[in-house]
A = this chain, B = another copy of it.
Amino acid sequence: MRFELLTEDTGTRARRGRLHLAHGVVETPIFMPVGTQATVKSMTPEQLLNLEVEILLCNSYHLMLRPGSETVSRLGGLHRFMGWDRPILTDSGGYQVFSLSALREINDDGVRFQSHLDGSSHFLSPEGAVDIQIALGSDIMMALDDCLAYPASHVEAEKSMTRSMVWANRCQAHFKNRQPAGQSLFGIVQGGTYSDLRTISANQLVDMDFPGYAIGGLAVGEPKPSMYEMIERVEPHLPRDKPRYLMGVGTPADLVEAVALGVDMFDCVMPTRHARNGWLFTKNGHIVIKHARYKDDPDPIDSTCGCVVCRTYSRAYLRHLFVANEILSSVLNTIHNLFFYIDTVRKMRQFIELHRFDELLTDTRRTPVQ
């Protein structure tokens, strides 16, 4: 893996870069749609290509349980399994173990948990998380971390962060030992909402020398200013020549704020999940398509949007599909919302190249799209 830092904005910390991965090139800033169970919900790979999606995130937790990472491996790896030949990033599984599974028992060796699907018992260790991601064959894999709930005391956060750093080290050692071709391992900065812990975590990870650094454990319930503060405090400790990935964030406005603070990569279920619930992003804020006011509305979702849905369908038709519980409702809404996100990162790249990112930031703060 190679990261090119193409240019840096002058008025903000925004960066324009390029990731060279085994399955292709990714322009940064980048938004990665979430393909939880080896599919971005309701999308064909062809539709994702038409949207100019460059990289997907898939969830190791879901795939290790069903169909199983070894099954995916026998079938030629995740890319072949799901018919997607561009880059894929996988998470470690840790976050879902902490948020979805039952009966978790965590110790220094890893975490024992019960599947949310069938109650079966599983154990995830730092080495196991790497093995699973090697079996899946993702371009970028993530170190297993201990996921802290919010709120947490300084003592709890420190203990959790310390464990995450030990695990990151073990993941890296196991990764180096196995030497998987065409795969890279990122470390994850933890430390809750405590900037001193975040600083320690970042410095320890940088000492371990990862090819990329994620900021994890944010957007878990803490106030927005606290999230932005953590990014701002962590960023100066991360090397300029490595990509930075803010995990699980966020609204389009969050993306702009975080890019201004030096973040390069994002993933979030928001565009796809909101789409299925009929919540559609527009330049002037969101609309909820099921509302009766759209029953006879001949206008597109957003008359300034260039996506195929806005060029083809009325709000009235999209409301009809939603109310009638048609599958095509999820499909078209997802296309629109993903286009909105992809368009947001495209626009950010342009403003960075022009060294005018502060203008986009000011504009975003004036009418934040939530």
Measured CB to CB, the residues of A under 8 A from B are 37-39, 41-46, 66-67, 71, 74-76, 81-83, 295-296, 298, 308, 312-314, 316-317, 319-321, 323-324, 326-328, 330-332
| Docked-complex contact A328 and B81, CB < 8 angstroms | no
Complex interface: chain B residues within 8 A of A320 (CB):
37-38, 66-67, 81
Contact present for B327 and A42 (CB under 8 Å): yes
Look across to chain B and name the residue whose beta carbon is closest to the beta carbon of A84.
B312
| B331 adjacent to A296 (CB under 8 Å) | no
B75 adjacent to A296 (CB under 8 Å): yes
On chain B, the residues within 8 Å of A321 by CB distance are: 37, 39
With A42-B328, A321-B39, A327-B331 in contact, is A74–B314 under 8 Å at CB?
A: no
Contact B75 A298 (CB under 8 A): yes
Beta-carbon nearest neighbor of A326 in chain B: B39
A332 and B44 contacting across the interface, CB-CB below 8 Å? yes
Q: A41 and B327 in contact (CB under 8 A), knowing A71-B316, A75-B317, A313-B83?
A: yes
Complex contact A328–B43 (CB within 8 A): yes
User: Is there contact, CB below 8 Å, between A331 and B42?
Assistant: yes
The CA of A316 and the CA of B76, in the complex, are separated in Å by: 11
Write the nearest CB–CB distance from A275 to chain B, whole angstroms: 11
Known contacts A67-B320, A295-B67, A320-B38: A83-B44 contact under CB 8 Å? no
Residues of B within 8 A of A314 (CB): 75, 81
User: Nearest chain B CB to A317's CB is how many angstroms away?
Assistant: 5
Which of chain B's residues has its CB closest to A50's CB?
B46
Q: Which residues of B contact A39 (CB under 8 A)?
A: 321, 326, 328
Which of A41, A295, A298, A324 has the most chain B CB within a 10 Å cutoff? A324
Among B37, B295, B317, contact of A38 (Cβ-Cβ < 8 Å): B317
CA A358 to CA B323, docked complex, whole Å: 47
Q: Is the CB of B326 within 8 A of A37?
A: yes
Residue from B42, B76, B312 in contact with A83 in the complex, judged by beta carbons closer than 8 Å: B312
Q: List 11 A-B contacts (CB under 8 A).
A: A37-B326, A41-B326, A44-B332, A46-B308, A66-B323, A66-B324, A75-B316, A75-B317, A81-B314, A83-B313, A331-B331
